[in-house]
Structure 1
Amino acid sequence: MPMPAHIEWTDSDTNSPDFSARWHSESGAVAPRRVVVADDTTTAATAHRLACEGTALLWRGDFHGARQLLAAMARRVDRKTPPPGRTPADSFHQHRRARGHRARVLGMLLVLPDRGYGLVGERGLTLRRAPDVRAACRAAYGPPGGPTAVSLRELLGVVGAHEWRLKGVPVPALGGARIHPHYGVFSPVRGEYVDLVARAPLPVAAGRDASRPRTAFDVGTGTGVLAAVLARRGLDRVVATDINPRALACARANAQLLSLEGVVEVAAPGLFPAEGRAALVVCNPPWLPARPTSAVDQGVYDPGGAMLSAFLGGLAARLAPDGEGWLVLSDLAERLQLRSRERLLGEIAAAGLRVVDRLDTVPRHPRAADAADPLHAARAAEVTSLWRLVPDSF
C-alpha cells in the first residue's frame, strides 16, 4: 500500500527545523514539492508569482487575511481570460484549461488543520480568528488521522458544502421537502431535470400486476432525489445505485429524512443493481463528456461518455417486460460540439433500444442568462430532455 503524500517546509523566521505533514487533495492534485510559510506580510503579487511557479504557501497568521489573499490571487488569475475559440468545442476546452489553471494556482495557498481538524494552529502555524471547521471536515474527510495540509480553497468548499448539507435544498417535485447533499455529491439545484421525472407518464409495466411490487432502478442516484421522486409517485420499490460511496451514503440519509427507507433501497456500489429487472430504469448521467477535476465535477463530467454508454448498453437486459428506461440528458454537449445527436441516436440503436417519446424543458438556472459566461450561447439555447426508451423488439 503506498505511503500517503507529504509536504515539507522550513520556518525561516524562527530558524525552526524542517517540518512535514500529510497532504490531502480531493481533486487529486499532487503534493507541492516546495512549500514556504506565508503570513499577513505576504503580498498578492508575491503569492501569485510563487503559486504560478509551483511553490505552495503554508499560511500562518489571521484566517481572514488568508481569505483576502486568496481573493486577491483570484483577481490576478482572472485578469487573463482566454480568447473566444474558433468553434464552440474550442471555446469549451479553452475555458476548461483556464479553470484548471485557476484551480491549480489558487490551490497553492495551504492551511494545516490540527489532529482534530481544528484551526487553532499546528507547529507554530497559528490561525487567528479561524472558524470551527471540525464538523465540516469530519463530514467530508471522515475521522481525523493527524495534521494534514489542505488548500484553503478546498477547505472553504468543504465548509460551504457542510452548510448546504445542514440547510438542504428545497425540491418542488417533493412538495418543497429538502434534499441534503453531502460533500462531493452533486446538489439538485437545477430542478428542471427533476421536474421531468416527476411529470413523465409511468410505463404500463409499473402498474400492470398488482400482485408484484412495482420496481424502479435509479442508476447513478447521487443525492437520491430522483429515487425519492419515484417513491413519492407510488413505486413500491426503488433501488438506488451509484459508483460513489459518498453518494450512496447521501441517498440513504435522504431516504431516512424523507421517511422513505421502506421504499428506497440503496444498493452496493455499482452502475446497476447486482441482479433483477425493473419496470422503470432511470438515469441522469453526467452531461458533458470531459474529465472531471474535482469530486463534485463527477456529477457533471463523464470522460468519453463512458457512463452514458454503459447505461445504454446494459439497459435492455435490466427492463421487465413492457418496461421503460428514462434517460435524462441535456443537449449542452451537442451545442458545444462535444457529442452529436447522430452519435447519441446511434448509441441508442446499437444498444437494441428505440425512442418512444421525448419530453423537453429549458434551463432556469442563472448561468443561462449570464452574457459574461464564455459558454453563454450554448447555455442559453440548452434543452434538457427525458428520453423514453424501450427494447427495439418491444
Structure 2
Amino acid sequence: MDSERCCCSITNPNDASAPAKIFTFDGVYDSPATTEQIYNEAAYPLVEGVLEGYNSTVFAYGQTGCGKSFSMQGVEEPPSQRGIIPRAFEHIFEAISLVEDIKYLVLVSYLEIYNEEIRDLLSEDKKKKLELKENPERGVYVCDLSHHAVHDVSECRRLMATGQQNRSTGSTLMNSDSSRSHSIFTVAVEMMPIRQCLQTMSMSHCSIRRGKLSLVDLAGSERQAKTGATGDRLKEATKINLSLSALGNVISALVDGKAKHIPYRDSKLTRLLQDSLGGNTKTLMLACLAPSDYNYDETLSTLRYANRAKNIHNKPHINEDPKDTMLREYQQEIQKLRALLENNAQVYNSMRETGEGGAGEGEREGEGSRRVRDRDGATPSTVRS
C-alpha cells in the first residue's frame, strides 16, 4: 500500500516469478489509518454536498470479514474510530445548528435486502416484504418504507441501533458476526430559506432543496469452501453473491460505454443503487481488503471491481423544488390550519360583539376547533428548524 501515490500492489503468493499487479485509486489507506481520517478526506465532501441539495452515496465493498461494517459504523471508543455513518450524523446537525435563516427537515429510513427481499429495519413488522416501484418524478423507491423525522444526533443513533439489532446476521468460519444482508441507511435533508418565503408569502413560490445521503453496507462476497456455509447460511451466501455479481455487471456495462442496456433490474440491490451508479448522485466506493496470502483471490477480485467502478461518470445536480418534499406538505398544512383558526377567531369575535356569546361561547369555540380537525384531518407533524 502506498498512500502517498494512492496505489496498491498485489503479488501472487503461488507464483513468485509473476510481476506485481498495481492499481491506482483516488485514495489509499493502510491499517494505521483511522476512520476519522478516511471520513475527513473522502466522505466529508459528499456530506457537504447533501447540505447543498445534492444526492450522495457511500458504499463499502469487499469480501466477508474485511472491515466494511467497521468502516461504516465503527466503534464508540476511541472516538477516532467512530464510523462514517455516526460522523455523518454529527456533520449534518452541526452544520444545521450554525444556520439561522433556513428551515430544515431531516428524515431517515433504514432497510435491508435479505435473500432478495426488502425489509424495513425500523418497522414493527420486520418480516414484511416491501415492493419496489418507479415513476418519472421519484425514480426507484420502496413502497411503505417508514421515514422518521429526527432532530438531533442522538435520535439518529437510536434509530441506527434499532435497525442494527433487527438486521440479519450469522456466524461463518471467516466471520463470527457476518452480515447476511445488504443495508441502506438513508438521510434526507430538506431545506427552505425562511426569508424568501416571508417575502413571497406563498409556499408555491418558496424554493426547496432536498439532499439525500445513502449509506450502504454491503454483505461480503463469499466462497463456500472458506466460510463452511451450509443450510440457511449457504442460501444467504448464494443470494449475496448473485446480487454482487449483478452489481459488477452494472459497473462493467457503465464503464464499457458501448452497452445499449444497463442491467439494473437484475437485482434489488442494483435497482436501489441505480441513481448512485451513472445517475444523479455523488458516489464514493470504499474497497475494503484483507491483505493476506490466504485471501489473494478475493483481494484481487475486489481491486479489479474498484478499478472498474472508478471509471463511472455520474451526473449529479442540485435537487431544487422536488414535487414530493415533506417540508412543503407540512408548511402548506400549517398555513391552511392557521387560516382556518384565524377565520374561526373572527367569527367568534363577531358573535361576541353582536351579543350572541354568553353561556354557549366555550361550547362554540370547542366546536370551531373540532371543525378544523374534522375538515383537515390529523394535526400535522411538527417541523423543526
Common fold, TM-score beyond 0.5?
A: no
- TM-score scaled by length of structure 2: 0.24
Q: Give the number of the structure whose residues are more often helix, by fraction.
A: 2
- TM-score scaled by length of structure 1: 0.24
Higher Rg: 2
Higher relative contact order (CA 8 A, sep 6+): 2
